Amino acid sequence: MKIFRLVLAGVVLTGILSQIFDRDPGPSFFILFAAAEGLLLVLLAGKLWNFRQTCRQNQGLSWPLVQRALEDLVPSTVAMLVVHELRLSLATGRVLLMRKIPTSRSEPTFHPLDGSHYGFIWKLVMLLVISELPLVHLLLNALLQEGIWKSVLLIGHALSSLYVLMWLVGDYRLLLESPGIQLLPAGVKIEIGIRAFGMMPYSSIASVDVSSPPEVPPGHAPIKEPETLRLTLHEKPNVLLTLHQPMAFVLILGIRKSARKVRLYVRDPQIFMGALNGFRASTG
């Protein structure tokens, strides 16, 4: 990969210098370009073959595998953003194609959307964005003078609004498709759309309590609790998991946060805490 980058840098530099000095780059440029192209194809073929073998070993394709494959080609931050955008785009496509949401799960599952007002808020935001698109478009069309900048602003506004719609639809679909909070034999699995991922073994949980955030006097800013992660969509958390030691969680856009206290929202906190304590007792 380093050799390819050097060759590609030479090709780009040669092309830029030839444009600056208005000279024909000559046959060496085309030879370098062909060499870079061939080397890229060979490297991509090798990466695809390795990726195929990895998928076979893991008995299927998964997004972490896709991200690791992309990290071999681009920086990890770029790979993570590409995976996020792909997941959102594909989720939006499933909505447009009216694909059914898989619901069959054998493990006890508690989803933050159950009993939440987030769905109603999401519909209001969607209605706002959909109504804003034509209104602002008409306003810009009436106020701006004809010219290239008017076209750029109109196209930019339309594309940005469509992207926001795609993000909202895809994010909500992924929330519906994700299991939320699962009690597995190995521990508590957190998967809330693309917003939060984590795994807490039962042995790592010190206590399970009803969540009671510190009282905030009127007019004061909320108190930030150290080493505390809040995994809710809209409602106030009603369950507090205290861990023996801080654990890492992956949030939206791959942001990693370490926390020793995790605040959750579930529709029936007593049922959740009873089931969780049952798993903890059975695993010793």
Q: pLDDT value at position 140?
A: 83
Share of the chain above pLDDT 90, in %: 35
Tens digit of each residue's pLDDT (9 = 90 or more) over 95-137: 999 888 876 555 678 988 988 899 999 999 999 999 988 888 8
Q: Which of 35, 61, 87 corresponds to the end of one domain?
A: 61
Tens digit of each residue's pLDDT (9 = 90 or more) over 75-103: 777 778 888 888 899 999 999 998 888 76
Q: Which of 61, 83, 112 corresponds to the end of one domain?
A: 61
Q: Looking at the domain assignment, is residue 91 inside a domain? A: no
Tens digit of each residue's pLDDT (9 = 90 or more) over 203-250: 999 999 988 766 666 666 666 778 899 998 888 899 999 999 999 998
Q: Looking at the domain assignment, is residue 105 inside a domain? A: no
Q: Model pTM greater than 0.95? A: no
Q: Looking at the domain assignment, is residue 205 inside a domain? A: yes
3-state secondary structure the chain: CHHHHHHHHHHHHHHHHHHHCCCCCCHHHHHHHHHHHHHHHHHHHHHHHHHHHHHHHCCCCCHHHHHHHHHCCCCHHHHHHHHHHHHHHHHHHHHHCCCCCCCCCCCCEECCCCCCCHHHHHHHHHHHHHHHHHHHHHHHHHHCCCCHHHHHHHHHHHHHHHHHHHHHHHHHHHHHHCCEEEECCCEEEEEECCCEEEEEEHHHEEEEEECCCCCCCCCCCCCCCCCEEEECCCCCCCEEEEEEEEEEEEEHHHCEEEEEEEEECCCCHHHHHHHHHHHHHHCC
Instruction: Give the structural domain span for 48.
Output: 2-61
Q: Which of 32, 61, 90 corresponds to the end of one domain?
A: 61
Q: pLDDT value at position 153?
A: 85
User: Domain tally for the chain?
Assistant: 2
